[in-house]
Amino acid sequence: MTPQDSIWDILFTKNISERWRFVTGDAAYWIYLALSIAFVIAMIWLARHKRRRGGPEAGETFVRHLSTATFVWWLLPVLLLIVTDTGQGWVQHIPLHLCSVSCFLLPIAVHTRNQTLLNIGYSLSIPGAIAAIVMPQETYKVLSYLSVHYFLFNLTHALIIATAAASVAIGLTKIEWKYYPRVVACGAGFMIAVYPINKLLDQNFMFVNWPEPGTILVLFADIAGNPGYVGILILVAAAVIALFYVAAIGGRALFRRIMIGSHDIQRAVAVEKRRVSASS
């Protein structure tokens, strides 16, 4: 941010395309985005369907299989990138990005049913994977969104979202405010811990070494500099996690109210039918 730049200039008069990468000119990007949304919805529906038909254990078994598939599918693009590496080295493929960690964390959380890990999986994995899908790496603008790399990349992140969301939908993950401080502390602690590793290896894991071009992190860096933007990132992440908690807890309360209302209507209809039958 230059001395003459005001916050207004940064937010409204600068070239937004340099700060936030929405790929409006590539139909494949939007097709993949639509397919990702449809896939996540389908996996959530299947998990709830399994639970309704076979009970809680059937729903949890489906989510466990989904979490295992997420881990296995994550390995495919990593191995492909290592095999086809163009000289940047294996270091960049160390699983220290949030989504890579999620692929390890979610299977452990689902199989152990540890609520702290499940809350971390929901609150950190879903926002991180959504950001990755909406703002894909600049590499894919060059390689084409129809490349095998992008297909594997996109499906991996869709699986992360589907696993974490389905776990909440079937009641395996119990979103409660008491876990919120632990989740924020874990996320902030991981960002801080990976910072010296980035410096040592000259990498950008968790995007805390430099702001990724074309993302909103560039805006944060314009405001607070580097590494000051990391502080803004932690605060924004805490706010986003809070919103996800509000959405989950509020959505659960609304769903219960709707179901209670539906049951009340069904009971009232049954009572009315019995009254009419008795009077006739």
Q: Mean pLDDT, to the nearest integer, of 242-249?
A: 91
Structural domain that includes position 195: 7-279
Which tokens in the block code for residue 135? 């703002």
In a domain, 1, yes or no: no
In a domain, 213, yes or no: yes
Calculate the CA 108 to chain-centre distance.
Answer: 17
In a domain, 2, yes or no: no
- The total domain count for the chain is 1
Which tokens in the block code for residue 234? 């932690």
Higher-scoring residue by pLDDT: 86, 276: 276
Q: Mean pLDDT, to the nearest integer, of 30-38?
A: 87
275 — pLDDT class (breaks 50, 70, 90): low
Q: Mean pLDDT, to the nearest integer, of 83-88?
A: 62
In a domain, 97, yes or no: yes
Sequence-distant (6+) residues with CB within 8 A of 119 are 173, 174, 175, 176, 179, 180, 182, 183
131 — pLDDT class (breaks 50, 70, 90): confident
d(CA 97, CA 252): 30
Which tokens in the block code for residue 128? 């991180």
> What per-residue confidence (pLDDT) applies to 245?
94
Look up tokens 């990702």; give the residue: 36
In a domain, 169, yes or no: yes
In 3D space, the residue among 257, 60, 275 whose CA is nearest the CA of residue 173 turns out to be: 60
pLDDT tens for each residue of 100-122: 899 999 999 999 999 999 999 99
